[in-house]
A and B are shown apart, each in its own frame.
Chain A
Amino acid sequence: MNTLMMALAILGMGLITYAIRVSLFLLPDRVSLPPWLLRSLRYVPAAVLTAIIFPELLLPQGTIDFSLGNERLLAGVCAILIAWRTRNVFLTVVLGLIILWLLQTYNPW
């Protein structure tokens, strides 16, 4: 992708994001979203973010790696436990990276 195409793509992504944000501010007062749509939207963050996380952990080199030699899988599982216990994004990122670095340096498997 050349620089002009990248710039156009970024502009398009910005327009789509803005359109979503401004959409219901511009609708007349009486119009609201149907309940089934609001309900489905609640699952968007969990589904989208997990769909990004899993391949990062299980396919770090492009093929499925379920072994103890997969440092990203081990560090990711630790990060999931940290996030579950602390509910703190900052701690999850910092400790997750430190665990990954330690495993990459001293992986016993």
Chain B
Amino acid sequence: MSDRIIEPRTVLPRDEFLAGVRAELPILLGVIPFGLIFGAVAVSAGLPVSLAQAMSVVIFAGSAQFIAAELIGVGTPALVLLLTTLIVNLRHLLYSASLAPHVNKLPLRWKMLLAYLMTDEAYAVTIIHYTEGRTPPATRHWFFLGAGMALWVTWQTTTAIGIFLGASIPATWSLDFALALTFIGLVVPTLRNRPHTAAALTAGLVAVLAASWPYKLGLIAAALSGILIGTVLESFDRPAPELLNLDRESNQ
């Protein structure tokens, strides 16, 4: 870092914040329909309006919210809901590990705020900003805040609109199918090697075979089987390059 000559000495927090918002904008295009559909699906699953919105504020994790709304709709016991949330959101542990070295100098209240705003979408742009290191480290967390807030405001607003529209959307439109379609769009491009594809196929197969288990417990069995198969197969293959990168980041 010290050998960079053209690096500006200071960048205003406001400019970092706005850069974060700008970086997040293209991703928001995909988040808007996702939020609308979540709002509609949550009320059609039987959640009261206030709780449907509360899910977006309190949980603030799209895929987990979709599954939870569906599970609540069929009367799943709370313990299973919590366990399912844990499994589905485990990937955030990876993001936390990767961002931790960049936020470790911040005061506690900043760490707590930024952790709340850490989603797949905010992580994607923030980690690039941190690792590129084009601005002084002292104000870089304002970028994280800008990206996170842009997503937060969008998610809350689109959830509310989705809830409002939800009651007027007929069941014959099969909008609930948007959940499976969204996940297909998210997961298919990530199946870039043998272990990932095997993990997905194993999980899918177990989920179908265990579909009759009560309260979607088959989902947890399926997820664990897939993770196990992927990890075992990877140990036979070469380690993925991005894994090495992440190790380097988190060991800084």
Contacts and interface: CB of A to CB of B under 8 A. Distances in A.
A and B found bound together? yes
A89 B96 contact: no
A54 B205 contact: yes
B184 A79 contact: yes
Nearest to B234: A39
Contacts of B93: 20, 23-24, 33, 41
B218 to A, nearest CB: 8
A55 B208 contact: yes
Contact of A21 (B30, B88, B116, B201): B116
Contacts, number: 276
Interface stretch (B6-14, B15-23, B154-162, B174-182): B174-182
Could you tell me the dominant secondary structure of chain B's interface residues? helix
Interface string B105-124: 00000011011101000000
Interface string A81-96: 0011001111111101
A40 B29 contact: no
Interface of A: 1, 3, 5-14, 16-18, 20-27, 29, 32-33, 35-36, 38-59, 62, 64, 72, 75-76, 79-80, 83-84, 87-94, 96-97, 100-101, 104
Q: Which 5 A-B pairs have the closest CB atoms?
A: A47-B226, A43-B230, A89-B185, A92-B185, A14-B58
